[in-house]
């Protein structure tokens, strides 16, 4: 089995989503080629979370994990309760004074793993005797014997140490991810290199999305009314290795992972990227075991947003003109079941200087009843573009 995890577990019904849209407007731009995936994105209000192998940068989302030199983090991991396996290590171990945490910190300091469950198992096997020695000094032996939970024998003690070692391993497992996936946006709608690379050489388009307060509510099932809020993070451009602090990952859920993977090589700075993350966790299914299953079905990375999040489309100079009318009808049809604000279509041209410029715009009412739409005047166009965060024309 696998679990999806995101920035918030808060689920909103449709009423909650409407209230959400009153937040501060933030507009994001996503470049599309004019293909089947663009059609799906518009028709089904769809986002697809890409894996490392599907991204242009082969190092993007690729990382390893390391153990921090922080006794306090180890102490919090030991005190962390879990739903499966050894739920509370304090029942079996004396955790007072951080003494066990200090020993474990020394044992694993400097260790790194590639994020696979096999590498985690090999590491624990490598330090099995060291961990067992540390645990033997901190077993609540007399207390457990009094409660009838432990027999005063070497075999019983060995079994208990193994049980606690598995409990620690299972807690560390919570910090690893089976996979990390992302949806990418840009804060720049008119970057020529982006149009060339991601919009089929100016034959594609840019979809304008509204993400109030840098949050995008998504749902896994297109028929559901329950949304989960996903934070939109800004990418930082700096050259460095990506290593996730594993103890923080255990304790902070996806925050440590997001912070690490928001760094990209400076070469990509022109993208001005923002992204949404999706991760899958390993989970345990039996006491002391590290059982897991992976899915090869990419459909589990397809999510859907509300139709009103699409604020408009910027068409490249080479976009098929005959397709624009059908796109307008499709966007209206998706929005006709509830009140939505107007959306915009913009046409562009490629200048002799190699820049892309918006030359005209169209404002379109969502309702089929009024059918109101019309070209935006030259005088009004700059104000609307500025409102949408499109400042370079």
CA-nearest of 32, 119, 19 to 310 is 32
Write down the pLDDT at residue 214. Answer: 95
Write down the pLDDT at residue 284. Answer: 54
What is d(CA 170, CA 29) in angstroms, rounded to the nearest whole number?
40
Taking the chain (393 residues) in runs of 10, the rounded mean pLDDT of each run is 36 42 80 96 96 79 90 97 82 92 96 90 95 92 59 71 92 89 96 95 97 95 94 91 92 90 90 93 54 56 95 97 93 84 95 94 79 84 95 64
- What sign does the dihedral 143-146-152-155 (CA atoms) show? negative
Helix, strand, or coil (residue 167)? helix
CA-nearest of 285, 223, 284, 276 to 254 is 276
What is d(CA 285, CA 287) in angstroms, rounded to the nearest whole number?
7
Write down the pLDDT at residue 14. Answer: 38
CA-nearest of 311, 52, 86 to 182 is 52
Helix, strand, or coil (residue 172)? helix
Secondary structure, 3-state, 56-117: CCCCCCCCEEECCCCHHHHHHHHHCCCCCCCCCHHHCECCHHHHHHHHHHHHHCCCEECCCH
């Amino acid at each position: 089995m696998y679990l999806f995890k995101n920035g918030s577990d808060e689920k909103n019904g449709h009423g909650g989503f409407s209230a959400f849209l009153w937040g501060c407007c933030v507009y994001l731009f996503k470049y599309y080629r004019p293909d089947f995936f663009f059609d799906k994105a518009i028709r089904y209000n769809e986002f697809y979370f890409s894996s490392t192998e599907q991204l242009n940068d082969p190092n993007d989302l690729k990382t390893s994990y390391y153990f921090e030199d922080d006794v306090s983090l180890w102490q919090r991991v030991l005190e962390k309760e879990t739903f499966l396996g050894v739920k509370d290590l304090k029942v079996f171990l004396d955790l007072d004074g951080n003494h066990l945490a200090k020993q474990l910190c020394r044992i694993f300091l400097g260790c790194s793993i590639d994020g696979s469950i096999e590498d985690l198992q090999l590491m624990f096997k490598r330090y099995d005797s060291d961990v067992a020695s540390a645990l033997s000094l901190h077993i609540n032996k007399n207390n457990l014997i009094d409660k009838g939970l432990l027999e005063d024998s070497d075999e019983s003690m060995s079994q208990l140490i193994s049980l606690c070692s598995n409990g620690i391993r299972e807690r560390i497992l919570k910090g690893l991810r089976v996979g990390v996936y992302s949806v990418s946006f840009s804060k720049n709608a008119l970057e020529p290199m982006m149009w060339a690379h991601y919009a089929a050489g100016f034959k594609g388009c840019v979809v304008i999305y509204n993400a109030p307060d840098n949050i995008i509510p998504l749902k896994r099932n297109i028929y559901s009314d329950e949304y989960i809020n996903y934070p939109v993070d800004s990418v930082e451009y700096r050259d460095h290795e990506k290593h996730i602090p594993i103890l923080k990952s255990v304790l902070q859920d996806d925050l440590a992972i997001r912070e690490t993977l928001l760094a990209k090589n400076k070469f990509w700075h022109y993208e001005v990227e923002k992204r949404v993350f999706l991760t899958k966790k390993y989970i345990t299914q039996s006491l002391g075991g590290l059982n897991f299953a992976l899915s090869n079905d990419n459909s589990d990375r397809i999510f859907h947003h509300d139709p009103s999040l699409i604020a408009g489309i910027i068409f490249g100079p080479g976009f098929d003109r005959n397709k624009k009318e059908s796109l307008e009808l499709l966007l209206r049809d998706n929005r006709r079941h509830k009140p939505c604000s107007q959306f915009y279509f913009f046409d562009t041209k490629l200048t002799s200087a190699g820049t892309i410029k918006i030359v005209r715009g169209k404002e379109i009412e969502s309702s089929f009843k009024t059918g109101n739409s019309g070209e935006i005047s030259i005088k009004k166009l700059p104000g609307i573009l500025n409102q949408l965060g499109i400042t370079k024309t």
